[in-house]
Structure 1
Amino acid sequence: MKTPTARLSDILLTALAPMLWGTTYFVATELLPPNHPLLVASLRSLPIGLLLIAWLRQLPQGVWWWRILLLGSLNIGLFQALLFVAAYRLPGGVAATAGSIQPLLVVWFSWIILHEKPSKRSIVAAIAGLIGVGLLVLGPMARLDSVGIAAAIAGAATMGLGTVLGKQWKRPASLLVFTAWQLAVGGLVLLPIALIVEKPITLLSTTNLLGFVYLGVVGTGLAYTLWFRGIDKLKASAVSSLGLMSPVVATLIGFVFLHQTLTPIQLLGMAIVLISVLIGQQTR
């Protein structure tokens, strides 16, 4: 049985992953080349994944080849591709709100795959989180697009399924090795799509390089390591609810660094999200 201090440490370390992902919008818009979202998504994971594999010198064995292909595609490759489709076709608020259905999907996947019957608290936390994110980021003039909404929900489903399968299968190697495999596979899956859809990046400034280094090392390598560690240590539904910290951090960064305003409705939504995250960690 874990002590309360150890469990709190697991929760805080896992929460750091979506908080780091919440910085992605600022880094992408302020530091990285414009109009290359899929290529940026591939380059944020592929180089760091390959470097880690070269350093650790360990490859999957047996059944883990296809499992890593599936997990890397779900958690990184397909998720990132669908995320950027949603981002291009929807305002950020609509995309974030549609994506925040992930905790509900994880509760459902956990019930089917892990045979974890959902508690009332986990369901209430997931629904409250969805409402809170909607209040936080969804403006009255939000434009709806059926393809964009479908992509956002499908993206939430792919990462939600990847979270639950990672919990079900139990990693066969160290946390760093397991993360490196998925980063490399996810980047490789995404790279040919990016090269077909987008033009290559022809010029990189020092600012662009700094942005890629931060996004690759901190926003991807470190963040996914903490996320997969959390999947090991916590219930899948608890981990997924922590993902709602990402739009909260993105909103706060926009307020502090981009001089965006915060309305009373947004503050209410932020409070509801934080309460739903807290409830999500108390489920049994």
Structure 2
Amino acid sequence: MKDKWAPFFILLAAVLWGTTGTSQALAPEEAHPIAIGAARLAAGGLFLLCIVLLSGKLNYKNWPIKTTILASVCMALYQPLFFTAVTITGVAIGTVTAIGSAPILSGFLEWIYLKKRPGTMWWCSTLLSILGCLMLFVNKESVYIDPVGILMALGAGLSFAGYTLVSRDLVERYSSLSVVAVVFTLSAIWLSPFLFVFDMSWITSVRGVSVSLHLGIMATGIAYFLFAKGLVHVSSSTAVTLALAEPLTAALLGVFLLGESLNITSWLGIFLLLLGIGVLIGSPKSSGSEKELGMVQK
């Protein structure tokens, strides 16, 4: 029965990720986005490490060092690449390029390294979801395309796709809790220099502490633990497509909590996102063995 719930674990993780934008909007004004990302990984990594140590589930025997380092580097790179892309080329284009490219890049990586290509249902779901994401964000601001920003956004999408692919190999051999605890602790170490580069005085305020704890515990620790549990039974390409529920959640929170308004095009984008995700979940290939995952042997 656990494999039946795997897609929903990933969707719940994406919903928690979707609260990131709202949390940043509520953070102190002097908090730099990259500093928030570094604090997020630091809090998340420490939280996960404490949980796994207290539970006594950390098994470090025969741990694959190279794979673990690769996963942690991918996650660490995602934060500055994404925030830099958004800063350079704007929220709309930066978000669409990063989040929209991740599923395609994930499917490409699976095809290249695992010799398996996603099936027809995955392509239909992914294209619907990416189109919905594009329609949701493109009307939020004037479109400004910067080549460097686009390159950074693609790098962020590749980083997330790479993290997902590598993590799936880890969670097949070790507990999900151990994997995310080790990977995110290392990711936090890689990004720790940013904590000294940017002004971190904001983190001592009530709002700063609240935002940091929410991002670290809920939007990172718990979210990526759920994502890792889902990866045990779901292919990396399917998982990344399901993760497109993140911008959907962010948009709805913006409407109901921040007072933002969406036009008809954006609401149509939300509908297409829901349709794409629904197609993937409704398909019998959305969970189970790799043969059932919509994966075709090359």
| Fold conserved between structures, TM > 0.5 | yes
Alpha-carbon spacing, 1:78–1:180, altered in 2? closer, same or farther (3 Å): same
Alignment of 1:270-281 (within 5 A): 270-281=270-281
1:82 aligns with 2:78: no
Task: State yes or no: 1:253 paired with 2:290.
Answer: no
Match of 2:288 in 1: none
RMSD (Å) for aligned C-alpha atoms: 2.1
SS of residue in 2 equivalent to 1:135: helix
Quote the residue 1:129 is aligned against: 129
Q: d(CA) in 2 for partners of 1:115 and 1:203?
A: 46
CA distance in 1, matches of 2:65, 2:199: 31
Alignment of 1:39-188 (within 5 A): 39-54=35-50, 56-57=52-53, 58=58, 60-62=60-62, 64-74=64-74, 76-99=75-98, 100-139=100-139, 141-188=142-189
1:255 alignment partner, SS class: helix
Q: 2:17 aligns with which of 11, 16, 21?
A: 21
Whether the 8 Å CA contact 2:44–2:215 is kept in 1: the answer is no
Distance across 2 between alignment mates of 1:64 and 1:186? 16
Letter in 1 for 2:189: L
Gaps of 5+ in 2: 286-293
The 2-side partners of 1:7 and 1:258 are apart by 36
Overall identity of the aligned pairs, in %: 21
Amino acid across the alignment from 1:243: A
Match of 2:290 in 1: none
For residue 87 of structure 1, report the CA deviation from its aligned partner. 1.8
Q: SS of the counterpart of 1:234? A: coil
- Match runs of 1:205-224 below 5 Å: 205-224=205-224
1:85 maps to amino acid: T
Residue 192 of structure 1 corresponds to 193
Whichever residue aligns with residue 180 of structure 1, its letter is A
- The answer to which of 14-23 and 118-127 deviates more is 118-127
Local SS of the residue matching 1:260: coil
Q: What is the CA-CA distance between 1:134 and the residue it aligns to?
A: 0.6
Partner of 1:265: 265
Does the residue aligned with 1:233 lie in a helix, a strand or coil? coil
1 CA distance for matches of 2:257 and 2:148?
31
Opposite residue 88 of structure 1, the aligned amino acid is T
> Which deviations, in whole Å up to 9, do the C-alpha atoms of 1:99-125 show, x marking residues without a partner?
211111111111122222221222222
Distance in 2 between the 1:113 and 1:43 partners? Answer: 33
**Does the 8 Å CA contact 1:33/1:208 hold for their aligned counterparts?**
no
Contact 2:203 2:212 in 1 (8 A): no
Q: CA–CA distance in 2 between the matches of 1:164 and 1:28?
A: 28
The answer to whether the 8 Å contact 1:114/1:168 transfers is: no
Once the two structures are TM-superposed, the CA of residue 193 in structure 1 deviates from its matched residue by 4.1
What runs of 5+ residues in structure 1 fail to find an aligned partner? none
**Distance in 2 separating the partners of 1:202 and 1:93:** 27
> In the comparison of the two structures, how many residue pairs are matched?
278
Q: Residue 7 and residue 32 in structure 1: after superposition, are their counterparts in 2 closer, same or farther (change >3 A)? A: farther
Secondary structure of the residue aligned to 2:155 is: helix
Amino acid at match of 1:266: S
The DSSP-based 3-state class of the residue aligned with 2:192 is helix
User: In the TM superposition, what whole-angstrom CA distance separates every residue of 1:248-283 from its partner, at most 9, and x where no partner exists?
Assistant: 111111111111111111111111111112233324
Residue 289 of structure 2 corresponds to which residue in structure 1?
Answer: none
Deviation (angstroms), 1:8:
4.3
TM-score (normalizing by structure 2) = 0.86
How many angstroms apart in 1 are the aligned matches of 2:202 and 2:169?
A: 43
Structure 2 distance, partners of 1:146, 1:112, is 26
Greater shift in the superposed pair: 54-63 or 101-110 = 54-63
What is the TM-score of this pair, normalised by structure 1? 0.90
Cα distance per residue 1:26-61 (max 9 Å; x no partner)? 111113453422222122122332344355343644
